Amino acid sequence: MDEVALLEALLRIPSLSGQEGAAAAFLVEQMRSFGWEAFVDGAGNAVGLLGTDGPLVVLLGHIDTVPGAIPVRIVDGKLYGRGAVDAKGPFASFIAAARRAELAGRLRCRLALIGATEEEAASSRGAHYARERYAPAFCVIGEPSGWDRVTLGYKGRLLVHYRIEQAAAHSAGELPAAPEAMVAFWRAVEQRCTSYNAGHERLFDQLIPSLRRVASGGDGLGDWAEATIGLRLPEGVDPARLAGELRGLAGPASLRFEGGCPAFRSPRTTPLAAAFVRAIRGQGGQPAFLHKTGTADMNVVGPAWGCPIVAYGPGDSRLDHTPDEHLELAEYQRAIAVLTEVLAGFG
């Protein structure tokens, strides 16, 4: 199976978070066909191992996607499909680059390729499982950066699930209705973020709220309202401490927290970052470094492994989760070439 066919076949396999089994089995079969040791691990990750000498390098991508079926097709050199950018495309480029380096006799490291589960579900189940089982010298996270750019950091995250229940309130009465209480909480969260952001001009340094879901109802005797709020955390904001502050703003409502993780940033002066700079220049590109306002599995494994780490992969991250998600095949091939050079430079 050639490199484009590999990705196209992977895109045709639905793999919502928590439902990655068929995609993992497909990837294991493909990696075994190369003669690699390959298996599905205890978290459902698709794992491939190869190489016998040199430092251990973990290539950690995720194979789950958000909902939304996009017909898989190639049009004008663009491959469409859910996950083409986020993040089956980057993981397929890992496999293709490892295979190119191996066939050329240029692999200078031991590789663990991990197609991780549940990254999109905020649980990052696959990355947490891998974190306890590997101790790499270097790590590359599979996320879209563009073929000529390298991501060094991601913001942290905290999801807040709000619920208030109370006796039914008459619209002409003094008691605020449950939806009004929820709106007051949301405004208090916005104000908390606005206060923090005073003097912080870069998005990477700001505390950014988003209202993800709102619902309300009642039965004539009681009213309720719910909301899910997402918070993107800058460096220095601890998720647990912020959760405590939010409880103080919630009044009689209940709060449940999910997916809390701090921001993480890797320095640009590591040997790994330098290897990507050389490889991108070797392909005629002008390398640049990114700091993303989203969150990725780098936040999970980066602090634990303490090794040089970057995120890299083909694709425009502005297409993540959109109905127009697609990957330029020329960019996919250039990213594979960059990764091949990086893998050949270890040892």
CATH number of the CATH domain containing 235: 3.30.70.360
- How far is it, in rounded angstroms, from Cα 265 to Cα 267? 7
Same domain, 125 and 274: yes
CA 304 → CA 60, 211, 295, 298, distances in Å? 14, 31, 16, 10
- How far is it, in rounded angstroms, from Cα 103 to Cα 91? 19
Same domain, 14 and 146: yes
Written as tens digits, the pLDDT of the chain (347 aa) is 699 999 999 999 999 999 999 999 999 999 999 999 999 999 999 999 999 999 999 999 999 999 999 999 999 999 999 999 999 999 999 999 999 999 999 998 999 999 999 999 989 999 999 999 999 999 999 999 999 999 999 999 999 999 999 998 766 667 789 999 999 999 999 999 999 999 899 999 999 999 999 999 998 889 999 999 999 999 999 999 999 999 999 999 999 999 999 999 999 999 999 999 999 999 999 999 999 999 999 999 999 999 999 999 999 999 999 999 999 999 999 999 999 999 999 86
Of the candidates 82, 95, 59, 93, the one whose C-alpha atom is nearest the C-alpha of residue 298 is 59
Catalytic residue among 3, 8, 20, 64: 64
* Beta-bridge mates of residue 153: 265, 291
Last residue of a domain, one of 199, 226, 261: 261
Catalytic residue among 102, 119, 226, 328: 119
φ/ψ of residue 95, rounded to 5: -60, -45
Domain tally, the chain: 2
Same domain, 150 and 273: yes
Same domain, 210 and 74: no
Same domain, 199 and 89: no
User: What's the token pair of residue 72?
Assistant: 């898989």
Same domain, 79 and 160: no
- How far is it, in rounded angstroms, from Cα 158 to Cα 81? 29
Same domain, 280 and 252: no
Same domain, 162 and 225: yes
CATH number of the CATH domain containing 111: 3.40.630.10
Same domain, 116 and 189: no
Is the preceding omega at residue 135 within 30 degrees of 0, hence cis?
Answer: no
- Is 2 part of the annotated catalytic residue set? no
H or E element, residue 256: strand 254-261
Same domain, 61 and 140: yes
For residue 308, give its domain range. 3-154+264-344
Last residue of a domain, one of 261, 283, 298: 261
Same domain, 236 and 268: no
Last residue of a domain, one of 244, 261, 278: 261
The answer to whether the CB of 313 falls within 8 A of the CB of 145 is: yes
- Is 64 part of the annotated catalytic residue set? yes
- How far is it, in rounded angstroms, from Cα 228 to Cα 80? 30
Of the candidates 313, 320, 319, the one whose C-alpha atom is nearest the C-alpha of residue 7 is 313
Same domain, 45 and 23: yes
